[in-house]
Structure 1
Amino acid sequence: MALANLRFLGVGPDDEETYRLLLRRGGFSQADLTRHLEEDVQGDAALDPQDAHRRLIELGLATETPGGLLAPVSPAKAVEALVESRVSGLRDQMEDEVSSSGIVDSLLGEHEKSLGASSQPLHTAGTTRHIKGMASVRAAIDELTFFTRTESLTTSPVGVLSEESISHARLMDSRILRRNVHMRTLMGAQALEDPNTMDYLRELTSKGAKIRISYEPIERLIICDRAAALTPIDPAHTTKGAILTRDPGLVAALVSLFERMWQTAHDLPATDDVGETENGLANALQREILHSLCTAEKDEIGARELGIAVRTYRKHVASIMQLLGASNRFQAALLARERGWV
């Protein structure tokens, strides 16, 4: 039986032999690597130890320890990373080929024939069109995100994402982030109250997305590459459909609106705990509520300003009072000021 090798995963014979040698020896200093390459690796006689060191790290087959030693990555983890890299590379290559081939435009042309001669393609520059029905809106979003290459700006005024929405969004968001597209997302404050939503938002930030929470009302927007924008036909009833525009002036105005909303929003909290953070400070939502205690005359006003339910607002007020050891709200505000929370 022939010895299995890593060539099909993009690893050359010299690099694989060096990795196998590293697995057998457990670790190398630069001097050890030079000596063992000369003695044990039967490939290129002019193999450069520094190049071998660099390639093993780039391929994910080895890591450099704080002491400067080259240590092997476990085989299972190394092969898994090679497979992921290979699949990701093939996916990107195929998506680029699809984009440059014009096949999607060709297929859309067939579909648009059934919509009537007056309909305009989604991708036509300078156009604005109404898209009715959620199925058509989702198809439009899928198409826009497929072609996004530089920047994705989105908002979610409601804040809370259903499991179905997360499942649908994960495929698109992962595709965008794999291309190193600059993704910024604004979420309504209700997101802070939903563990599933917060878990997904933190998943996105771990992959490079930037997420902010808005305590003020925000508009529903999706903007791709500052070239196309999608907004609801009726913001109060988003199921009616959406307006897709590629008009440069309209898109620029919507980008400006997004930037203003982004500037007034807050970074995603590092923790969603109800109590104090590791630094002994109230979390982001609690600090906003403390500010409202000092300015809002009624709970209803404070809750509305923060975009959360009155019951949720009161629950956090009670938690803050307990956290501070305050007997009333006035005392809570004073104690918070003493601690520098407001």
Structure 2
Amino acid sequence: MVLEVVGVSPEEESVYRLLVTSGRATAEDLAQRAGLPAADAARILDSLALKGLASHTDGTPRLFRAAPPDVALLPRLKRSADTLELARLEATRLIQAYQDTMRRHDAGQLLEVITGAEALRQHLRQIQTCAQDEMLWFCKAQYVAMPSGSNAEEFEALARGVRYRVLYEKAFFDDEGAVDNVVAGVRAGEVARAVPHLPLRLAIADRSVAVFPLVAGGPHGSPEEPTTALVRDSNLLAALIALFERYWEDAVPLRVDGSDALSGTDGSGPAEALSPTDRKLLSLLVAGVADKAIASQMGLSRRTVQRRIQAMMERAGAETRMQLAWHAAGHAWL
């Protein structure tokens, strides 16, 4: 019986089903068809009438008729569904409150130490298999646990709609087969960028769990086993996400042309690789606007403006701002 979720007992459901297929019937008729005592059948029919599932005539014997199921049941089902959804939301809040409490009182709920390359591989595969929305990666040269091209979980996740944003450092592309593997990832939907250097290896799944080195381990084949950490929702995780976004903002997009050639791998590409923020900043700088005014107009700190200008100077190989302006004009940076 399935109508208990809307407050209909199994015996009421059985009689209601008989009434639906009978059209009209007396309590005695239904008692015979259901194999019930007449008094029980009458009691159940009165209960159905009180619940709006049946109606009856005023004569003797009374004739009962089933209320239309769409009128009698669908509103009850909707109310039940709404109640279940409220219960689900409340359960979710309670689960979150419990997890928050456990994290505050037990550091083991926040950080798990992973020792060895094989254990690291298993965790990297697991967090990708469980990812629902987005994966963030820092990819450094000379793999520690997962060789370039061996990450089948990425392609499976991309196929089910998980977004991948991957940052590669320049030296990564010196590894054998690295360029071809990145091209395959970009073709599959990976959004890739490059920078001259990355500070550490890092993988973040759904902004809820991250894997990163605790102790710098040697590359594959070295005697040092990697010691890494899996960290869950915490200030440390928030800092790692902010670190990723900071590097992502200034990185050069990697593009694949029709011949599968990959551009931007040196992390210091042409003007179109500048972020919109840097292009606007550069246009104000070339126009002679002072750093303080640029910061005010763009909603940035003065220190951030100076840092971005320095980064563009390094990209252009310029020693002065005037040289940066000349480079911008000569290379269509504006």
**Please, what TM-score do these two structures have when normalized by structure 1?**
0.43
Larger radius of gyration: 2
**Please, what TM-score do these two structures have when normalized by structure 2?**
0.44
